[in-house]
Structure 1
Amino acid sequence: MDRKAPASTSTSTSTKGRGRGILPALALFAVTLGIVGLLGATGYVFYLMARLPRVDRLADYKPPIVSQVFSDDGSLVGEFYLERRIVVPVEKMPRKLIQAFVAAEDSSFYQHKGIDYLGIVRAAFKNLLSMRKKEGASTITQQVTKSMLLTPEKKFSRKIKEAILAKRMEEKLSKDEILYLYLNQIYLGGGAYGVQVAAETYFGKNVDQLNLAEMAMLAGLPKAPNAYSPIKHLDKARERQAYVLDRMVKEGYITTAEADHAKNTPIEIRSMKKVNNEQSAYFLEHLRIQLEEKYGEDQLYKGGLKIYTTMNADMQRAAYESLRNGLKAVDKRQGFRGPTKYLGESEVDGFCAKVEDGIDSATLKTGESYQGVVVGFVPEKGEAIVRVGDRKGVLTRKNMAWAGRVGMINSYGKPEKGNKNLALGSVIEVSVVSPEVNKEGAQFALDQTPEVQAALVSLDPRTGAVKAMVGGYDFRKSQFNRAIQAKRNAGSAFKPIIYAAALDKGLTPATIIEDSEVEYPDGAGGTWKPKNYDNTFRGPVTMREALTYSINIVSVKIMEQIGAQYAADYAKKLGFTSQIPANLALALGAASVSPFELTEAYSVFANKGQLIPQYFVTKVTDNDGTVLQENQPPAAIPAVSPETSYVITNLMQSVVASGTGSRAIIGRPVAGKTGTTNEGKDAWFVGYIPQLVTGVWVGYDQERSLGAGGSGGQAAAPIWAEFMRKATAGMPVMDFEAPDNVTFVLINPRTGKLAKEGTPGAVMECFVKGSEPTGYDGDGGGAAARPPAAEKEE
């Protein structure tokens, strides 16, 4: 009888057979997958390798280099750059500086071939133990590839590219060539790229002048340039410096004694001396626009151009300081506007931390202004305790006297609307009278950023060279260059141009004009009655008196006599490009012109009638020294006769000596003219000596009255005088030279006729020969011609 095997036995045997078949299949699949993965990875690596940038191009390393701007004496006054970098060869770098970077950043640099495998394992182990990224393993070579050949993206593919390129770089370049790239390319904080600029930024030295302590401090920066900045965090920078020195000892580069000496060496933080870019900002911005148009962005910001300008560094600094001082004086006459805002007690620390981030010096700078917070009072002394960043100081009653009686509220919270008292948490501006010591004890003065603006232009009339230009109070807040871009009514500052035109029409300084009420049709069916500044009438006056005291009615009558179109055409000969209206109001400065235009026009009078177009750049060279542009002083254009120029100059000397421009007296011969427009919206003073002509405008961007003390003589002339005193220090005192065809005769200013010796009130007057009066009082002889009116301005 046949027996069948139990079903269970048959099933068990079948399962075992299938099991033995699956394992080889899985193994085969895994091997296949591994081979495919390896081939894929290999293919991906080859794919990346085929698309990597060429390493050999680094042999011709040309990084973005600073373009430098120089003043007329060759001193550095500004820079244009994307990355502030000055390239120096390795041979000029101290060997210990190189060793400091190697010890701190890549101690096996001279042993590995681009990748430090042992360092990778060591870093991975430390990171694993700490459960966070505590240490990196990039070599100096890898850092160069990352910064120069790759994008900063954080991807695995970039790490592969970095490793491949590092290996290739080590095959193509020597170790010194790699260090040359690294030490010139690396960012070291404070806007400094490369060791040369870092040495200038932090220590005011060239790289080959650094001592060991300074070298080690620079070598500590790559890990975290801002955190270890010796300017902002000297204590942390010292800690990092000590680490670098210890690493140098361990690597055998220095002895323990050398390290200890460096650790104890005092660190003096100071920048390489150069003109503050802020002082020259408007001048530099005008240059930047011109140069970028001519040479393109790449060459200007990356090409290392050397730009030699007409600017005089000392004059530019004087212009900046004088304009700011003058605007503060004008603004303070309008009164204290109160704190800019009020903080709650919990907001003070955060606000002060932001202020501290913006302070780029170890101690507060004397004379500089900062935002401070009132954090306390000393009631018995009437003093406020003010915090600026993490520093504190005292604001005394004396140092805020200009603001009048300011109360003090010893609590946090905003006072009632319109209350200008100081409360705890008040944010105010303070200037530094004396800096703090160890972040305590500064002496502050209450300050206030002016709302009013100004412009100053100074030219050499003999060459056309622009020596200084400031276009506003603060370039960081407003890049609008009021010196060139603003078009404002010139007011009485335009009168010398009208009077010069009148001289060429036959009028003389002794011409008598009646200062009396007059009216003209206004073209709209009504009448226009010009008024004098003081609303009084003087009767018969000479043309000299009319200009000296800026009598408006006389100026209008002169314009009526010579013709408005003639006066407008005459003005254009002096270089104006703005539209000049041909109407009687032009006599009172109705033309809207820029400070630059008006100053250039006055330069014609200062230069004996010759117009020389103004220029800013003398020479431009590329980084190799090839001259790209060289400018000579432009050719002079005859605009006005030397005789007319001298006579109008002589008239304007009276404006300064005894008229509206008396605040422009600087102890040497000066000719100039004030200007104040209707409702006191614009204040001007333009004046000159034989070697220099300077124009100043003061006003609000959104036109409104300058208020009390806002006339040309009170607001603009003091700025002009402060600048000129500083600018002309050391210049020889020169008088204006009279042409041979000018003569001086004694006249009676009440009649305009010749006067005899001893005649009461007689004065010497200048004339172009042949235009002087021929008769004496009472003899019926000829007197000077007789035209129309002006206005006393201040």
Structure 2
Amino acid sequence: MRRLGRWILALTKWAVILLLICGVMSVFAAAGTYIYFSRDLPKISSLEDYQPSVVTTFYSEDDRKIAEFYKQRRIVVKLSEMPKHLIQAFVATEDARFYEHEGIDLYSIMRAFFKNLEAGTIVQGGSTITQQVAKSFFLTPERSYTRKLKEAILAYRIDRHFTKDEILFLYLNQIYLGHGAYGVEAAAQNYFAKSAEELTIGESAMLAGLPRAPSWYSPHRHFERARQRQIYVLNRMVSENFITNSEASEAMNTNVTIEKRPNWFQETVPYYTEHVRRIVKEQYGEKLLYTGGLRVYTAVDIEMQEQARKSVEKGLRDLDKRQGYRGPVRHISRKEIEAFSRKLQEDIEDQALHEDLIVQGVVVDVDDKKNKTTVRIGKNVGVIPLEKMRWARKPDPEVAPGVIRVQRPGQVLRVGDVIRVRLESWDGKNQQWNLSLEQTPRAQAALICMESDNAHVRAMVGGRKFSESQFNRATQSRRQPGSAFKPVVYAAALDKGYTPATVIADTSIVFTDDERDFTWKPDNYDNTFHGFTLLRDGLIHSRNVVTVKIMQDIGVDYVIDYARKLGIESQLDRNLSTALGSSGVSLLELVRAYGVFANQGIRQELVFIRRIEDRNGNVIYEAPEEKESVIDKSTAYIITHLLEKVVTEGTGWRIKALKRPVAGKTGTTNNLYDAWFMGYTPRFVTGVWVGHDQEKSLGKNETGSRAASPIWLDYMQQILEGRTERVFPVPDNVVFAKIDAKTGLLPNEDSEKVIDMCFKEGTVPERRTKTEDEIADTDDFFKKGIQ
């Protein structure tokens, strides 16, 4: 027995020694493993200055959101701005022992280890929230034990270095929750169109169910899966005593509405925001734009911008209809109508039909006796009365003689035609839509509107539809302005000693260039010479020859330098045709130039951005209030006065319908390629261009007056409605005098027409018009073409 006892004692002693040796070896192994895998691990102190990639947001003039730009759509919010139940939902689901462990949950790790061992592969993880933070910030997403060891080491360090709330702040702002949303704030906006602090328990539970597989449980794509996952999260919250059974039941029985997150860039003011995006990128770089969390406050007025889009669309459709009907989108057989309608119904299922919407439909009946056409729009039916399609004559009847005015529907449509229609109104009695025939315009247009007092650009449209063409015709295009350039020439002349009463001979003139074997004979639009013409009439009635002669007299270089002062930066050709707007300029440049006239000679740079703040709210840019007087007030006012007469007496006659003080000028180029109207009231300067991207005629008689000014008028009528009427202020050094409309001199008792003109002080004509008796005794008093 003693021998047995000694053996047992010796065996126990060696076992203890062996265990001690194994323990020491394990400690050394663990230490070695820790040291080995700790090599090159990043320092967690970098988390103290958490600067993640954050959304840059653009705002309108009244601080409404209009656009977002980002690489990761993340909006950082404080933990205190998140509801308690949102935090609890994530903790209950992702890491129930979060407040108990030190960054690593050994129980969860062992459970996952045996599950993976049983499966023969990695099927489950034991990651804590802290480990997820470590992986998200410092490691790759690979699934390996090496990465898990590094993750555990980092998690332990993070837990020792940061508080639990600080870790949750990092986690809830960093985590990816699907559809481009990083963090709970972006996800709340993505799925529920509200901020995180407004989330209900049910909505919070649905978000907390996403980290496991954001695509699989997406409420947008797989609502039922998201719903089942939400129920799981709610049950976990009950198990952890975060909420009661009754609160969970109420959340389960409350419908969660999933909202479609607006595409801010495409749907609000795309041309404007794209222009601002380019400016910010150029000044601050791509990285800061897409990751810096900038807050860019623009000058755009959302309602004015929307009205600009509508006016451009309306003007282009009216122009297009004046050119005639180009035929259906396509034609299908009667057998294909049913299948086509089913497919069309699927296409329009996502958008509710409403008044003023333009959609495709297929003609199912043409009734010439009742003068109506029946159109099927998916499962809906509509009727086009004859009056809503009378415009649909064949294009260009001079080339292809045909119907000038539609007399019956059968002249235009037939069964099987796939056409575009506008939903005018719903006929509840007959359960059908009242429709009008439409077609997609081919021409393009651009519009810029700025407030003259501060040069803030309130609206900018760069084309008919941004989704089809991102090219901004308001800023990126250079087109011939035609007669819209003439006010620059006339303003330059006023500063060279001319007055509105100066007489110029509107007679034939020929310019030759022997070196290039070139001959140019300018002509007026009406192909008529008008003899001796007052400068005022040359501008009011847009006389080409008068304008060219003025430029010849004052000098091409002088006019070009003058244009530069007004803000025209494009290359201007050093020849006399520049007087007629033959050199391409941008709409933006012309608006800036006309803004000088509207603002009493003061030039200001157009303001698209009011200020920019960094992610911390520090102002890094503010629009300068720089104003430069570039021409005399009297010159600016006289041009304004003359441009008012363009509206009341000249080519801008359509604008009289505004019934307010307004100055403006039409512009039309050769072959009717470009149509312009540049105009301003005492408050707003607005410019409109209409044309084709690939230069071709807009159509017979489609001048600036007919094609562009209606867009300008429609827009200005809408934005000025309800605003107080203003008048153009008259400078102190401007005087008015009655002048003989024929001679430009003081009138006499024989003067047939006397008009009021404004002059710079000291330039009123001193001579009196000769009477008929005096003229009979002398030669023609016009000794020179220019007085």
Are 1:397 and 2:397 an aligned pair? Answer: no
Q: Which residue of 1 aligns with 2:189?
A: 200
Are 1:582 and 2:570 an aligned pair? Answer: no
Partners of 1:185 and 1:157 in 2: how far apart? Answer: 23
Match of 1:649 among 636, 640, 644: 640
CA contact (8 A) 1:246 1:259 kept: yes
Are 1:558 and 2:538 an aligned pair? Answer: no
Partners of 1:107 and 1:455 in 2: how far apart? Answer: 58
Tell me which amino acid in the other structure corresponds to 2:165.
Answer: D
Within 5 A, what are the aligned runs for 1:54-203? 54-110=43-99, 114=103, 138-153=127-142, 157-203=146-192
Q: Which residue of 2 aligns with 1:216?
A: 205
Tell me which amino acid in the other structure corresponds to 1:775.
Answer: R
Alpha-carbon deviation of 1:69? 2.9
Partners of 2:783 and 2:357 in 1: how far apart? Answer: 56
Cα gap change, 1:65 to 1:729, in 2 (>3 Å)? farther
CA distances 1:653-708 after superposition (whole Å, capped 9, x unpaired):
12122322233342321111111111111111111122221222222222222224
Q: Which residue of 1 aligns with 2:649?
A: 658
Are 1:778 and 2:771 an aligned pair? Answer: yes
What is the SS of the residue equivalent to 1:593? coil
Of 193-202 and 770-779, deviating more is 770-779
Partners of 2:435 and 2:91 in 1: how far apart? Answer: 46
Q: Which residue of 2 aligns with 1:23?
A: none
Q: Which residue of 2 aligns with 1:302?
A: 291
CA distances 1:717-739 after superposition (whole Å, capped 9, x unpaired):
22222333344445432111222
Q: Which residue of 2 aligns with 1:628?
A: 620
Are 1:497 and 2:488 an aligned pair? Answer: yes
Partners of 1:382 and 1:375 in 2: how far apart? Answer: 10
Match of 2:526 among 534, 541, 544: 534
Of 471-480 and 57-66, deviating more is 471-480
Within 5 A, what are the aligned runs for 1:322-337? 322-334=311-323, 335-336=325-326
Partners of 1:236 and 1:526 in 2: how far apart? Answer: 77
**TM-score w.r.t. length of structure 2:** 0.79
Tell me which amino acid in the other structure corresponds to 1:722.
Answer: D
Cα gap change, 1:777 to 1:252, in 2 (>3 Å)? farther
Partners of 1:487 and 1:364 in 2: how far apart? Answer: 39
Of 779-788 and 179-188, deviating more is 779-788
Of 446-455 and 268-277, deviating more is 268-277
Are 1:718 and 2:705 an aligned pair? Answer: no
Partners of 1:760 and 1:684 in 2: how far apart? Answer: 34
Are 1:570 and 2:558 an aligned pair? Answer: no
CA distances 1:469-497 after superposition (whole Å, capped 9, x unpaired):
33333444444333222221110101111
Tell me which amino acid in the other structure corresponds to 1:289.
Answer: R
Q: Which residue of 2 aligns with 1:519?
A: 510
Are 1:767 and 2:759 an aligned pair? Answer: yes
CA contact (8 A) 2:676 2:709 kept: yes
CA contact (8 A) 2:68 2:264 kept: no
Cα gap change, 1:734 to 1:233, in 2 (>3 Å)? farther
CA contact (8 A) 2:556 2:574 kept: yes
**TM-score w.r.t. length of structure 1:** 0.78
CA contact (8 A) 2:743 2:769 kept: no
Alpha-carbon deviation of 1:402? 7.8
Alpha-carbon deviation of 1:786? 7.2
Partners of 1:353 and 1:109 in 2: how far apart? Answer: 51
CA distances 1:75-99 after superposition (whole Å, capped 9, x unpaired):
3333332222221111221111122
Partners of 1:590 and 1:139 in 2: how far apart? Answer: 71
Tell me which amino acid in the other structure corresponds to 2:668.
Answer: T
Match of 2:598 among 587, 594, 606: 606
CA contact (8 A) 2:462 2:473 kept: yes
CA contact (8 A) 2:58 2:297 kept: yes
Partners of 1:495 and 1:163 in 2: how far apart? Answer: 75
Partners of 2:439 and 2:92 in 1: how far apart? Answer: 50
Are 1:743 and 2:735 an aligned pair? Answer: yes
Cα gap change, 1:245 to 1:114, in 2 (>3 Å)? same
Q: Percent of aligned positions with the same letter in both sequences? A: 44
Of 82-91 and 158-167, deviating more is 158-167
Match of 1:290 among 253, 274, 279: 279
Q: What runs of 5+ residues in structure 1 fail to find an aligned partner?
A: 1-35, 407-418, 789-794
Q: Which residue of 2 aligns with 1:258?
A: 247
Match of 2:329 among 339, 348, 352: 339
Q: Which residue of 2 aligns with 1:460?
A: 451
Q: Which residue of 1 aligns with 2:12?
A: none
Partners of 2:100 and 2:552 in 1: how far apart? Answer: 91
Cα gap change, 1:241 to 1:449, in 2 (>3 Å)? farther
Cα gap change, 1:564 to 1:116, in 2 (>3 Å)? same
What is the SS of the residue equivalent to 1:628? strand
Tell me which amino acid in the other structure corresponds to 1:553.
Answer: V
Alpha-carbon deviation of 1:112? 5.3
Partners of 2:638 and 2:701 in 1: how far apart? Answer: 31
CA contact (8 A) 2:122 2:143 kept: no
Q: Which residue of 2 aligns with 1:15?
A: none
Partners of 1:206 and 1:598 in 2: how far apart? Answer: 43
Partners of 1:237 and 1:379 in 2: how far apart? Answer: 49
Alpha-carbon deviation of 1:709? 5.9
Cα gap change, 1:270 to 1:396, in 2 (>3 Å)? farther
Cα gap change, 1:422 to 1:376, in 2 (>3 Å)? closer
Partners of 2:193 and 2:771 in 1: how far apart? Answer: 77
Alpha-carbon deviation of 1:605? 1.0
What is the SS of the residue equivalent to 1:473? coil
Partners of 2:49 and 2:650 in 1: how far apart? Answer: 67
What is the SS of the residue equivalent to 2:579? helix
CA contact (8 A) 1:76 1:274 kept: no
What is the SS of the residue equivalent to 1:765? strand
Partners of 1:261 and 1:728 in 2: how far apart? Answer: 51
Cα gap change, 1:44 to 1:73, in 2 (>3 Å)? same
Are 1:698 and 2:690 an aligned pair? Answer: yes
CA contact (8 A) 1:77 1:274 kept: no
Partners of 2:124 and 2:457 in 1: how far apart? Answer: 55
Partners of 2:144 and 2:338 in 1: how far apart? Answer: 41
Partners of 1:255 and 1:510 in 2: how far apart? Answer: 89
Cα gap change, 1:499 to 1:405, in 2 (>3 Å)? closer
Cα gap change, 1:252 to 1:498, in 2 (>3 Å)? same
Partners of 2:748 and 2:630 in 1: how far apart? Answer: 36
Tell me which amino acid in the other structure corresponds to 1:70.
Answer: Y
CA contact (8 A) 2:363 2:414 kept: no
CA distances 1:277-301 after superposition (whole Å, capped 9, x unpaired):
6543333333333333433333332
Match of 1:674 among 630, 641, 666: 666
Partners of 1:43 and 1:342 in 2: how far apart? Answer: 77
CA contact (8 A) 2:481 2:585 kept: yes
CA contact (8 A) 1:77 1:275 kept: yes
Tell me which amino acid in the other structure corresponds to 1:455.
Answer: A
Alpha-carbon deviation of 1:324? 3.8
Alpha-carbon deviation of 1:235? 5.8
Cα gap change, 1:431 to 1:568, in 2 (>3 Å)? same
CA RMSD of aligned residues (A): 4.6
What is the SS of the residue equivalent to 2:739? strand
Alpha-carbon deviation of 1:453? 2.7
Alpha-carbon deviation of 1:330? 3.4
CA distances 1:153-191 after superposition (whole Å, capped 9, x unpaired):
455644454444444444443433332222212233444
Match of 1:597 among 589, 593, 596: 589
CA contact (8 A) 1:339 1:422 kept: no
Within 5 A, what are the aligned runs for 1:41-52? 47-52=36-41
